[in-house]
């Protein structure tokens, strides 16, 4: 079974631009969660999508948005990029909604975003 | 609200030595507890989890953790580490049941030296 695939692996953008990151979950998984990882803040939860509906949301500004398609693939968009958005963005999939229940999260290798 | 504290941000250790990575949590109700590992340039993967039952939980790669309710701790241990165990380790907690968010610790960087 293929794992969680995130594209692209690396991205360099300029302040003010926007970016779209993609995540393909494990086949059969309907939940996709997104995280921002930085050295100082650790893992910060962005949002979770389950069956095309946003189920949970973290404390990020509206510049961060996401969506999920009928095949469970998910995209995350960040508009008006700021220097502080530089981070590793991880997505994780699960067959059920939520991240802390009986079914563990399966993570992709992340997209490293650098904003200059 | 729940919170997680990983007491050591960095743990250096020599190969074949034992290691303990400490995790304390705060919660007024029962919780589920998890340890995830992140190898360099990779995503996270589940090492082990405690949902209920036996307080000693065994995971992958020879790791185990003990749930201590009175001390609200869930420390991760391995009796003999390898170079390949060098990674970032994350402790996390959630409320029981599904559709729950994970609350994450800031991580402990384990560096195994020859």
Shortest Cα distance, chain A CAs vs residue B46, angstroms: 7
Report the SS3 class of residue B83: helix
**Two structure tokens written together for B112:** 């195994």
Distance between CA atoms of A16 and B24, rounded to whole angstroms? Answer: 40
Shortest Cα distance, chain A CAs vs residue B9, angstroms: 11
What is the gyration radius of the CA atoms in chain A, in angstroms? 13
Whole-number Cα distances in Å, A37 to A69, B44, B105: 24, 11, 12
Instruction: Give residue B95's pLDDT.
Output: 79
Shortest Cα distance, chain B CAs vs residue A83, angstroms: 21
Instruction: Give residue A4's pLDDT.
Output: 96
Distance between CA atoms of A60 and B101, rounded to whole angstroms? Answer: 15
Among the partner residues B43, B90, B94, nearest to A99 by beta-carbon distance: B94
Tens-digit pLDDT profile for residues A14-43: 999 999 999 999 999 999 999 999 988 889
Best mutation site among B30, B32, B44, B109 for testing chain A: the one with the most A CBs within 10 Å? Answer: B44
Q: Is B73 on the interface with A (CB under 8 A)?
A: no
Residue with tokens 């800031």: B106
Instruction: Give residue B106's pLDDT.
Output: 95
Best mutation site among A5, A9, A100 for testing chain B: the one with the most B CBs within 10 Å? Answer: A100
Q: Mean pLDDT throughout A10-16? A: 98
Bridge partners, B91 (sequence order): B35
Tens-digit pLDDT profile for residues A60-101: 999 999 999 999 999 999 999 999 999 999 999 998 887 777
DSSP state of A85: G
Instruction: Give residue B98's pLDDT.
Output: 65
CB contact under 8 A, B100 and A100: yes
Instruction: Give residue B99's pLDDT.
Output: 67
Cα four-point dihedral sign B60, B38, B53, B25:
positive
Bridge partners, B11 (sequence order): B110
Tens-digit pLDDT profile for residues B11-69: 999 999 999 999 999 988 888 999 999 999 899 999 999 988 899 999 999 999 999 99
User: Which candidate, B92, B77, B75, B89, places its Cα nearest to that of B27?
Assistant: B92
Tens-digit pLDDT profile for residues B89-108: 999 998 776 667 888 999 99
């Amino acid at each position: 079974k293929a794992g969680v695939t995130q594209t692209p692996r690396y991205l360099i953008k300029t302040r003010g631009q926007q970016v779209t990151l993609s995540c393909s979950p494990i086949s059969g998984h309907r939940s996709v969660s997104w995280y921002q990882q930085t050295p100082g803040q650790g893992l910060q939860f962005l949002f979770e999508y389950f069956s095309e509906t946003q189920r949970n949301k973290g404390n990020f500004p509206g510049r961060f948005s996401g969506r999920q398609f009928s095949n469970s693939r998910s995209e995350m968009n960040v508009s008006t990029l700021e220097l502080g958005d530089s981070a590793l963005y991880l997505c994780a999939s699960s067959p059920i909604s939520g991240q802390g229940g009986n079914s563990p999260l399966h993570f992709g290798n992340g997209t490293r975003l650098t904003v200059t | 609200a729940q919170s997680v504290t990983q007491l050591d941000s960095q743990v250096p250790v020599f190969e074949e030595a034992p290691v303990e990575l400490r995790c304390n949590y705060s919660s007024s109700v029962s919780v589920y507890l998890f340890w995830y590992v992140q190898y360099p340039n990779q995503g996270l993967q589940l090492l082990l989890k405690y949902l209920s039952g036996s307080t000693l939980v065994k995971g992958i790669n020879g790791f185990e953790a003990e749930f201590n309710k009175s001390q609200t701790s869930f420390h991760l241990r391995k009796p003999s580490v390898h170079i390949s165990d060098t990674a970032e380790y994350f402790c996390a907690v959630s409320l029981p049941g599904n559709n729950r968010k994970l609350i994450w610790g800031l991580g402990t960087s384990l560096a195994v030296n020859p």
